[in-house]
Amino acid sequence: MAPKGFRAAGIACGIKKDGSKDLALIVSEVPARVAGLFTQNRVKAAPVLYTRKRIRRGVARALLANSGCANACTGSRGIEDVRRSVEATSRTLGIPREDILVASTGVIGEPLPVERIEEALPRLSQLLSPQGFKDAASAIMTTDTVPKLAERTLMVRGKEISLLGMAKGAGMIRPRLATMLAFLFTDLEVPPPLLRELLLEGNSRSFARITVDGETSTNDTVLLFANGASGVSLREGIVPFRDLLFEVMEELALGIVRDAEGRTKVVRITVRGARTSRDASKIAFRIATSPLVKTALFGQDPNWGRVMAALGDAGVAVAPDLVQIRINDLPVVKGGTQDPKYDEEKVSASLKGKEISIVVDLHLGEGSYWVWSTDLSYDYVRINASYRS
C-alpha cells in the first residue's frame, strides 16, 4: 500500500525512442521532509546539481524524474532545461518551484527534450494516484528489465505507517555514496537530522555495497521523503522504522544487482580478517570489479587464482600465506594455496547455481565488509556495445 498522502504516475512522453514510459511524477499532498544523497562523480548531471542545492531546505512536495536522457554534460542549456521543467511542474501542480526536485537517467550528452515534458505534464498530473507507483518505477527504467519496488507497512499504536521505495539501475553501477536513482517515500513524520542520518546509514548497508561494472554514474541520486500523513511521528517513541527502511533499501539494492546488465550470477563477496573494514572494503570491491574474476564466474570456472591475484592488487598490504577462501561455503584456499580439502568437481557444480558466495579471510585483524556483484557475460558487452543505437 502506498504511503498516505503520496500520489504517483508514470507515462511515455516521447523521450525514449521506443515509446516506453519515460516520465515519472510523485507528489505529496503536504510538504514532506526530504534527505538526499548524490553521485560523487566529479562530472555531475544538471538535475543533480539542481536538486543537491534545492534539497538543503529539507522540504519538498514533488519529484519529477525522467529516463531516456541523463541531461548530463549539457552545459548551461542543461540547467536551463531543468528550470523549464520545474517551472512547468510548478504551474501544473500549483505548488512553489522550490518544492520541486528533479532526477534524470539515460544517455549522457544529449539535450533534454524539455518541450515534450512541458507538453506531457498536464496529462501526467491527471494520472496521479496512490496506485501510480508501479508506473512511476517503470518510467525511470533504462536497460532495467523489471521495475524495482519495495513496500512495507507497520502498525504503531493502532495507526498504520508505510514505506515505499523504488530504484532503477542496471549498468554504470559502482556507487561511492549513492547509486543511480532510488526514491523512498514514507508517511511517518521524521525530524530532518534523523532523516538524513537514517538515509546515510541505510545507504551504507545497501546501495553503497553493490557494483555491476565499477562505473559511478553522473546522475546517481537517492531521495527519502517523509510527509507525516500517517499521523505518527518517529519522535513519539520507538517505531522500528530503521529496520523497515534498511530492509527496503537492501531489497532495492539487491534488485538492481539481480537485474544487472547481462548478469547470469549474483555474487556476494565477503572479506573478513582485514586490518580495518576500509581495507576489507577495498579488497571486496577489487575482487567484485575484476574482469577476470567476473568472466570466470560467467564460465562457472572455479579459477580461484584470479581471486588471489585480485586481492593482492587492491593497494592493501596482505599476507598471501594466511589467506583462506571459501566458495559457496566449500573449502578452496588455505594458507594462500589450494586447500587440501579442495574438491574441484564439487566447487564447479556449486557454481552452476545463480547465487554465488565468495568468502575471503585474510587472518590479519577484525575488519570485514561485503558487497553484492555480478558476473561479466556476452550480454553485458552486447547491451553496452549497442546501448544508444
Active site residues: 179
Q: At its nearest, how many Å lie between a second copy and the CB of residue 351?
A: 11
Q: At its nearest, how many Å lie between a second copy and the CB of residue 228?
A: 37
Cell of 276: 580495518
Of 186 and 289, which has the nearer Cβ to a second copy? 289
Q: At its nearest, how many Å lie between a second copy and the CB of residue 286?
A: 10
Of 188 and 260, which has the nearer Cβ to a second copy? 260
Cell of 95: 505548488
Cell of 193: 537530522
The C-alpha angle with vertex 64 and arms to 58 and 70, in degrees rounded to 5, equals 105
Secondary structure (3-state) at 218: coil
Of 187 and 375, which has the nearer Cβ to a second copy? 375
Distance between terminal CA atoms of the chain? Answer: 38
Cβ partners under 8 Å of residue 124, min gap 6: 9, 11, 13, 23, 25, 92
Of 154 and 271, which has the nearer Cβ to a second copy? 271
Of 203 and 216, which has the nearer Cβ to a second copy? 216
Q: At what angle do helices 75-93 and 114-126 cross, to 10 degrees?
A: 20
CA distance readout (Å), 138 to 20, 66, 134: 9, 10, 6
Q: At its nearest, how many Å lie between a second copy and the CB of residue 27?
A: 30
Of 235 and 388, which has the nearer Cβ to a second copy? 388
Query: How far apart, in whole angstroms, are the C-alpha atoms of residue 187 and residue 232?
Result: 8
Nearest to 263 by CA among 379, 145, 183: 379
* Residue 75, burial from CB neighbour count under 10 angstroms (0-12, 13-18, 19+): exposed
What's the half-sphere exposure (Cβ side, CA atoms, 13 Å) at 78? 22
Note whether 325 and 319 are within 8 A (CB).
Answer: no
Query: How far apart, in whole angstroms, are the C-alpha atoms of residue 154 and residue 159?
Result: 8
Q: At its nearest, how many Å lie between a second copy and the CB of residue 387?
A: 7
Residues forming contacts to a second copy in the complex (CB under 8 A) are 41-44, 70, 72-75, 77-78, 107-110, 171-172, 213-218, 290-292, 295-296, 298-299, 301, 303-306, 308-313, 316-318, 320-321, 333, 335-338, 376-378, 380-382, 384-389
Q: At its nearest, how many Å lie between a second copy and the CB of residue 73?
A: 5
Task: In the chain, count H helices and then E strands.
Answer: 11, 14
